[in-house]
Structure 1
């Protein structure tokens, strides 16, 4: 299946299958078709496909030679992951801080015809769970872990370590009461390896699980106690008031004991290649008196593990009530367990059930929850494939492509940089970017983003670089971003967005569009304004020289002096909508905004009746402006000399007057051209000379 189609199906089915059922269970048959569900005939649990929980991967059935009638339906198919180092399932709508049992199941069944089961690693969130290994192609491997959820979701990740393609057959999640398994907390979880949860029932492969166990723990038969016998009852066995382990009655209705002996001895091998002297195991032993023994009979015993006696105050079973003893022991290659009758005992020891867990310290601190959720939402919004699965920052070996994170000691990671250039992002800029509170660098260039630039980007206080260039964004640049760019706290790039304008006041019909970075958009109008005043100074000086020449030269053909378009006064009234929008005022007269036939905006400078400038001075100014051309200077479009009506028509530069420019220059700092102080002196001299004449 095409990977992008798989991603689309993932989001379609997420709302259907991505959450717990009415029991709080999540029961996934990995590799089953997206539109299939079924009810397990033994447990009556409803199983769904995994399309609402993961996007990548491919489905496959096991080899027909391995499909036996006794094999559970959940092992008929699987999902394998030929691409990517880490592939993760996400189970949502959980309760942060609650305890959950998570089970991963694997059955190779020679699905790939290689007859070589792979070896790969399993992670729960950011922390290593265990290695997945198989004795042979027919081995069923399942493992449980009990964990406190650090968020309202949990992720199970399969990691390729170069020893074959990872795969998975089933994934289950079961909620647990907060009183259960108090040894599980935010700093450690309990992993059940090699099915080490046993009841001491009759010999044979007798499995007890849901609905007998409401938490769907799988209890297998343990028949490796030498010289033992089984005693049983059909009576209900009740848990004590604390209910720390809530053991099902069916698990406790059988017990192993010995005849003509005062001790039960057995050994247990972890069979765990990852275990070493630093490992710890958590044992729980369960006892219940199943026989209504005489009042003078005593059943009491000690529990000894590798010659170390455990706390035995509770090892005096009560009739039809659950008693337990739990203990943590350090890692060894083999454990010898003995239940030895106390001196006062008249009855031999008994053992009804036991669980043995590997203690898993929580060593990896996950990404800040707000950052992680924001990135997951961004991934869903844009359908990014890449390696965007699991925790964004942790472990470092699996950090998402395009991210940079901070790793403070003992604290959650934060995302500090996002380089998503050329990530094929389509649509509006996601609001979730605004939830990355520690973000300093955001590069969204060279995508197909559209719509306006959102204002929330300016509210990210830590942001120092924002690159939005080469997209299809439109509208004004928010003031919050403009202010940061002008004061030098933000480097802003918005070039190659055909429909972006500098600010909200400039976003009108016929506006000048941004074709470079924001700084270029600011610099050019400033330079043009400065150049205009220099030109005016030169024109005024020329006027002074002309006054010394002969008056006869003033009668030359004025129509030859102007090479630009000549407007009639009626035309000026039309293009300015009867001079309705005044945008400035100077000594010559007011300036009005207008629009030519082609939609280009112009500034129309009209001589007022109170102006001291005459027709010849007006034509002299126009003559010089028509002869000066530069890409950074305002261009003269034309003029009007209609009877007593004099006007100049300029290209419109929507950036304010000189006073505004001087303020802008002051606020922009060292990043833009500063108006030299000499210009003020020149303007003062120019004004003085004009007044003298």
Structure 2
């Protein structure tokens, strides 16, 4: 007789099961934990009795769906319904509905768990089935099989961005709903099979040997809050246990799991159990990864030996005999997913010279899923999300705008390039009934080819809400000209030769006149005014990633540069342009740093740029650099303020400081972080996010290569051998200090300026 294991384990904690806890120990760190009770009223929260974890409402994580309570016959039965399973969030009428979990660390590993208890919340008595997506990648099919018992599914994944979305997708087999959603940070050494292109979906996680069938081990005994459910077949397996702590490597289960094990009641028998694959419409032949954990719990006599083999379907899974260490966990695991099988018969057999029967403490099995699909370009997502919020678009705009193709947002057209993320190319808003002024965020989608109107209350300038319609197909084609028109302050880049101005006019940068000049830089301009300022766009200063830059003069004679978006623009540096020398790069870096230092120190109150990146550094004919694009400029309220709070994250993916994404609080060190990324780009010639072959930010890329002690491993090939090695090392050191995770460890821009001046002296001296 063999024990058989079902899929989607019944969540016995929800059925009144207890959580084993080790008394007298401090609770592990919960930094980064997200614990959501879906359907809980907005602003509500509570502390779970068993884990002491705080659960919050899901209102701040999604703007879709409705809250519902499970039916009275289940909600009043506390024997199997925990607090978080008394209510659900349901998503009727929607194709895809998503939760956004933010403030994550790109490149880090997380466990994400979703729970579902139907409880006849809708009074229909029909058990639904629907798909679950992790961002733009398929996670699993949720097939609810019982009314009154909770089921869970879990995935381990490496996130690319500072957020991840969990989406419920209606497949026509019932309305999607969810009871709970958890996110737990994992150590980087845990589950090495999970990476940026492969996720692990939990098939089972079992704790052998506990006598209480309802005793679950999770937080705080497991610092990562993994759920270890008991498994014991009393008539076949005998329990072995210890009260001593069981140690192990990071990959090992917690001591509370490893303190119990099973062994055959008949010493001459084997330990056997069977696992059956669970296919779905995306993975009809799932591939599994197993981790089996052993520890000797008995101090063996000198003449006693416990040694055994592990086989699957009669074949050795591990070539050598297993001899567990006393009070220390040993783990055997697959490095890669196995080829699909129809069934998995697992047998643990004692070797011929073993005097004791085999044991097993715990097992984990995962199916491998692909997470290689990437979402829409981050800048496009930020822009279209801001547009959605600005106009309160109520169409089916949930999840990623372009991916997967079958779930792309209504009214959007996208381009799909195998070498990069999807990009938004067309926005059709002709039937949305929009009103107000045209959002400047349309200009942030720099691959957009057309924008359709037929919204008579949509303003083309700040004083009028009347747009003259063309007669072509009852729609307004407002591509490049109107985009240029609505660039307002964000694309009018006022570049002052500040030091020269101060020298000529004697203006004190801390008096009111200078502050008024900065106010002028955020002024709105009409397209007609831009024509006057630039003398009908007569003199081209250069071409950037967004389009051409034109010379111009304001009414008071102030020289400015006007950046005008072109239809064929592609934000970023021109890969065909001649490469700048190392000395030119150093001088550009220094002058850019001085510009940021001016914003931080010379203005009263100080300013934060918020969008420091290479494409916002403009060069004149002499390669003199000026910081540009002040559309996201943010001022401190007072000189002595320590930070500026915002309601949402703006900026460019790859340049954002981690604390800004986490707490929506900006400091001068946020700009310093972004400038550090710029310095790394300058040294390496690489983009802020590399894809070689897996996505990685430039900071990690440089750190890994510099670990070998050779600066040539990171220096741009165009300048390699033509730069002062000491200067290159010093700039790399400055850049890495600027991009330190903790803001307190980053230098000020004044420090950066001084260091770069020394680097330039080193280079010029050579």
**TM-score tier (shorter):** 0.5 to 0.7
Gaps of 5+ in 1: 1-20, 454-462, 488-502, 507-693
Q: Distance in 2 between matches of 1:146 and 1:485?
A: 56
**2:526 matches 1:476:** yes
1:202 is aligned to 211
**2:138 matches 1:128:** yes
CA shift for structure 1 position 344: 3.0
Q: Please point out which of 138, 157, 160 is paired with 1:150.
A: 160
Q: Distance in 2 between matches of 1:116 and 1:484?
A: 69
Structure with larger Rg:
1
Q: Please point out which of 241, 256, 260 is paired with 2:262.
A: 256
| 1:276–1:102 distance in 2 versus 1, CA, 3 Å | closer
Alignment of 1:200-349 (within 5 A): 200-224=209-233, 227-240=236-249, 243=250, 245-258=251-264, 259-261=266-268, 263-274=270-281, 278-313=285-320, 315-327=322-334, 328-349=337-358
CA shift for structure 1 position 306: 1.4
2:695 is aligned to none
| 1:469–1:269 distance in 2 versus 1, CA, 3 Å | same
| 1:306–1:410 distance in 2 versus 1, CA, 3 Å | farther
1:63 is aligned to 71
Q: Please point out which of 39, 43, 55 is paired with 1:31.
A: 39
| 1:433–1:350 distance in 2 versus 1, CA, 3 Å | same
CA shift for structure 1 position 31: 0.7
Q: Distance in 2 between matches of 1:484 and 1:343?
A: 94
CA shift for structure 1 position 431: 4.5
Secondary structure (helix, strand or coil) at the match of 1:173 reads strand
Q: Please point out which of 417, 420, 426 is paired with 1:411.
A: 420
- 1:197 and 1:356 in contact (8 A); partners too: no
Q: Distance in 1 between matches of 2:303 and 2:434?
A: 79
CA shift for structure 1 position 376: 2.6
CA shift for structure 1 position 168: 0.7
CA shift for structure 1 position 389: 1.2
Q: Which has the higher contact order (CA 8 A, sep 6+)?
A: 2
CA shift for structure 1 position 437: 3.1
Gaps of 5+ in 2: 1-28, 464-477, 489-523, 539-551, 556-766
CA shift for structure 1 position 424: 4.3
1:100 is aligned to 110
TM-score normalised by length of structure 2 = 0.56
| 1:225–1:277 distance in 2 versus 1, CA, 3 Å | farther
Q: Distance in 1 between matches of 2:531 and 2:51?
A: 59
| 1:160–1:481 distance in 2 versus 1, CA, 3 Å | farther
- 1:428 and 1:449 in contact (8 A); partners too: yes
- 1:121 and 1:131 in contact (8 A); partners too: yes
CA shift for structure 1 position 415: 1.4
Q: CA RMSD in A?
A: 3.2
Q: Distance in 1 between matches of 2:97 and 2:406?
A: 13
CA shift for structure 1 position 191: 0.5
Secondary structure (helix, strand or coil) at the match of 1:351 reads coil
For 1:390-417, what per-residue CA distance to the aligned partner results, in whole angstroms no more than 9, with x for missing partners? 1110011111122211111253111122
Aligned length: 460
- 2:309 and 2:321 in contact (8 A); partners too: no
For 1:37-88, what per-residue CA distance to the aligned partner results, in whole angstroms no more than 9, with x for missing partners? 1111111111111110111111110001012212110000011111221111
2:547 is aligned to none
CA shift for structure 1 position 297: 2.4
**2:89 matches 1:72:** no
Secondary structure (helix, strand or coil) at the match of 2:442 reads helix
Q: Please point out which of 35, 38, 55 is paired with 1:47.
A: 55
For 1:277-325, what per-residue CA distance to the aligned partner results, in whole angstroms no more than 9, with x for missing partners? 6420111100001001123422222111112211244822111111011
| 1:230–1:197 distance in 2 versus 1, CA, 3 Å | closer
**2:170 matches 1:160:** yes
- 1:443 and 1:466 in contact (8 A); partners too: no
| 1:439–1:34 distance in 2 versus 1, CA, 3 Å | same
- 1:445 and 1:469 in contact (8 A); partners too: no
Q: Distance in 2 between matches of 1:443 and 1:99?
A: 41
Secondary structure (helix, strand or coil) at the match of 2:355 reads coil
- 1:388 and 1:401 in contact (8 A); partners too: yes
Deviates more, 1:121-130 or 1:440-449: 440-449
1:677 is aligned to none
Q: Distance in 2 between matches of 1:436 and 1:481?
A: 23
Deviates more, 1:417-426 or 1:379-388: 417-426
Secondary structure (helix, strand or coil) at the match of 1:74 reads helix
Secondary structure (helix, strand or coil) at the match of 2:291 reads strand
- 2:321 and 2:351 in contact (8 A); partners too: no
1:624 is aligned to none
- 1:200 and 1:352 in contact (8 A); partners too: yes
Q: Distance in 2 between matches of 1:297 and 1:233?
A: 19
Q: Distance in 1 between matches of 2:235 and 2:372?
A: 40
